[in-house]
Every structure is written in structure tokens, then in C-alpha cells.
Amino acid sequence: MFQTSKEYKESMKRPIRNESYMKIQLGLINQEAQQSAELENTDYTTFSDPKSLFRQHTVKRYATYEQDMFKADGSMYFLPENADEYWLDGYTCNELFSSEMHIKFDFGCGKSDIKGLTIKFGECYPTKFSVVTDDGLSIEFKNSKQIF
């Protein structure tokens, strides 16, 4: 038997119950597009792992000597001296101070109808970005969250 509140018990005994609300999310994924997706960029650091971009994956962040990019709470790691010990995570470009960064994904399944797009940027998210289709259509977006 489950513990329930007095109010819940009373509402269940009523001949006409109050309305209930719930939130349901339904995600339909194009498996072929997701499995064939590849990153065309090759200008990433040796501790990047572009394949992890297409999986549900939590990135272990490396600390850097930039403002607000070094937390002493145990949530960030220092890059090891030995490259064999790197955690291969996400995508970090070699051109850290370039004015514009481009990332191109190729979906090897040919033309596909993608009805929605979710991008998990993480803590370092862009405030503006664009999505360009195969047809050359460019759509600009403004962003203020880690997940778009």
C-alpha cells in the first residue's frame, strides 16, 4: 500500500474528480541519420572525441586558465602531460581564439526529413549560431541556454 495525502484520498472518493495534468514528451529519432552522422571538421584537439557527439555522453571538462573556466570544486580536471592518459571528450577546436567557428556534420543517409533538432552545448554555449542545410538555406538562432 502507498502512502497518500488526505487530499488525494478525498479527491479519489469524489464522484467527479478534478482535472489532472501531465507533461508527455515523445521523441522520434531518425536512426539512419543518427548512425550515419559524421563530423567533417578535422581541426580538433588531440583530446577531442568527435564520435561522442552522437551519443548521450557527459563531457569531463578540462580546466583552463581563462576567466570563469577554472573551478576548484572537483568538477574539472587538468590535462595530463601524457597524451595516452587523455579523456577523449566532445569537440574542442584547435583555433580557440578565432572569431567564428564552423562545425559541419554529414548525414551519410542522403536527403532526410529532420523534423526537430536538439543541441546540447554544455556550459560553454554560443549566444548566436546558424544551421545551414544542403540546399544552402541558412537559419539564424539566438541562444541563452545549455540545451537548444
> pLDDT tens-digit profile of 78-131?
888 888 888 777 777 777 666 677 777 777 777 777 777 788 777 778 888 888
pLDDT of residue 39: 78
Dihedral over alpha carbons 128, 120, 66, 87 (to 10 degrees): -150
Residue 45 CA, chain-centre distance (Å), reads 19
pLDDT of residue 36: 80
pTM: 0.58
pLDDT of residue 47: 80
Gap between the Cα atoms of 65 and 63, Å rounded: 7
The one-letter code for the residue type at 57 is: H
pLDDT of residue 142: 92
Q: Which of 41, 32, 52 is nearest to 105 (CA)?
A: 41
**Residue 77 cell numbers, joined:** 580536471
Region 2-19 average pLDDT: 76
Domain ranges of the chain: 28-111
> pLDDT tens-digit profile of 16-52?
766 655 555 445 577 777 778 787 877 778 888 777 7
